[in-house]
Amino acid sequence: MNAAETSLVAAFAPPAREPAWLGEARRSALARFEALGLPTARHEDWRFTSLAALGALPFARAPAGDPAVASALLARGAAPEGPRLVFVNGRLAPELSTRGGLPQGVILSSLAEALREVPEKVRPHLGRLARPEAHAFTAANAALFEDGGFVLLPRGAAIDAPLALVFVTDAPPPAPLRGAEEIRGQAAAAPAAVHPRTLVVAEEGARGIVEEVFVGRGASLTNAVTELVLADGAKVEHVRLQVEGPDTFHVGAVHAEQGAEATLGAHAFSLGARLSRSELWSRLAGEGGEVRANGLYMADGARISDHFTWVEHAVPRCTTAQTFKGILDGTARGVFSGRIRVLPGAQKTVAHQLSSSLLLSDDAIADTKPQLEIFADDVKCGHGGTVGQLDEASLFYLRSRGVPEADAKSLLIWAFASEMVGLVGAPALRARAKNLIAARLPAGARILEAA
């Protein structure tokens, strides 16, 4: 086992007051993690994303974070107003959270609270979709999670305000280059590992918006797992906003299951982290279900941003629409790997997948793997992928109108990226995503002003 694996296994300490079934699940997940080990480049799903740098780090359980620091981090534009739960280093920070004004029956709580208060709502779903068997990170999360969010949208509930779960990591700064011996001698400064675990249950016909925000600083690993259970006719928009610090490894998996006529809009904005991996596993289990999965990633420097989707059509008359866009600069690497599986009998499936990458520098890398696996004949499926640089003609046009080159580039990138923002339904989330994207463009502030 490498340093990361060893340290994660060593961090295993199930909370004392948990139900027995959960302790059992944790122990078996840990055994699974030990057996699997972290994936390597030989693993087909990880062939473009090397975890070598992560594997070399010994992670410690995250210390209690400083609420003042957390609140400063939140002030940088990512913090949602309205009902929100804030977790600092994996633990609920009540002083930063607000949860008033929710309609009757709607629950926004920490998972630990939910396990105490409404275990009958949690137990049937926790770990049902995110199976630890095949996935090392999911196994590690299942074994090691401390807390996370629990959202229950009861039958027929309709709530317009986004319910936010904010995960703040306040970790020690990365160790400067030192020998391995010294690192071991200074366990206190070891990078922190946090494993947020979230469960969202939308009962029949419920409608809501759930937002997960990841911010932080310092050297850390965020290994998040989210399960979304959509009963028949439920409509959920799930937005994942990842703006972690430049020394964070972020691995986040979203597992969804949809009943008949259920609609899921899943948006992933991956703007931060040193290595960002965002996964969406979705199973359309009831007729007439629809999943819209979108992603935008921006990476510069030597960062890696990897998006992975796996959508399974198990029944007839379901729809998938996916759009993923990447903007890559410096020596950054962007990876998109999406698979749509249409199982036997899933007739009248409509599935479309689009992946576009923009390369802004000579050394940026884009790897794209859109995949269709189809076992039914009466289907309409397609995918498209493009990789290229900014359009010369558009750039020339803008410059001929007197727009400086840097601004013209910013404008074109803005145009490319803002399509993804437009796909988000909730206006408040759109505005925040726009601000965060603009903050990453040289002329972003002026563009926002003009808009």
In the complex, the residues that contact another protein under the rule CB under 8 A are 44, 48, 344-345, 347, 357, 359-362, 364-389
CB nearer to another protein: give 69 or 372: 372
Least distance between another protein and beta carbon 311 (Å): 14
Which parts of 376-451 fold into alpha helices (H)? 392-400, 405-422, 427-438, 444-450
Count the Cβ atoms, other than its own, within 10 Å of residue 290: 18
| Cα four-point dihedral sign 282, 283, 286, 289 | positive
Least distance between another protein and beta carbon 329 (Å): 10
Tokens 């275990």 correspond to: 119
Least distance between another protein and beta carbon 423 (Å): 21
Count the Cβ atoms, other than its own, within 10 Å of residue 362: 8
Alpha-carbon distances of 88 from 71, 95, 194, 271, 415, rounded to whole Å: 10, 11, 10, 20, 34
CB nearer to another protein: give 48 or 414: 48
Least distance between another protein and beta carbon 331 (Å): 11
Going by C-alpha positions, the residue among 333, 241, 317 that lies closest to residue 278 is: 241
CB nearer to another protein: give 189 or 374: 374
Least distance between another protein and beta carbon 376 (Å): 6
CB nearer to another protein: give 89 or 353: 353
Alpha-carbon distances of 300 from 51, 270, 323, rounded to whole Å: 18, 12, 21
CB nearer to another protein: give 262 or 327: 327
Least distance between another protein and beta carbon 377 (Å): 4
Distance (Å, rounded) from C-alpha 412 to C-alpha 430? 19
CB nearer to another protein: give 212 or 329: 329
Distance (Å, rounded) from C-alpha 229 to C-alpha 115? 17
Least distance between another protein and beta carbon 174 (Å): 28
The set of residues, in sequence order, having a beta carbon less than 8 Å from that of 229 and lying 6+ positions away, is 125, 128, 129, 199, 200, 201, 202, 256, 257
CB nearer to another protein: give 235 or 325: 325
CB nearer to another protein: give 230 or 328: 328
Hey, what amino acid is at 29?
A
Alpha-carbon distances of 326 from 77, 298, 307, 321, 329, rounded to whole Å: 22, 6, 10, 17, 10
Bridge partner list, 251: 223, 277
CB nearer to another protein: give 223 or 337: 337
Containing 364, the helix (H) or strand (E) segment is none
CB nearer to another protein: give 145 or 310: 310
Distance (Å, rounded) from C-alpha 157 to C-alpha 103? 8
Least distance between another protein and beta carbon 385 (Å): 4
Half-sphere exposure of 424 (CA within 13 A, CB side): 26
**Contact between residue 176 and residue 138 where contact means Cβ atoms under 8 Å apart:** no
Least distance between another protein and beta carbon 39 (Å): 15
Least distance between another protein and beta carbon 61 (Å): 38
CB nearer to another protein: give 31 or 412: 412
Least distance between another protein and beta carbon 420 (Å): 20
Tokens 């609270």 correspond to: 113
The set of residues, in sequence order, having a beta carbon less than 8 Å from that of 104 and lying 6+ positions away, is none
The set of residues, in sequence order, having a beta carbon less than 8 Å from that of 148 and lying 6+ positions away, is 87, 90, 110, 111, 165, 196, 197, 198, 199, 224
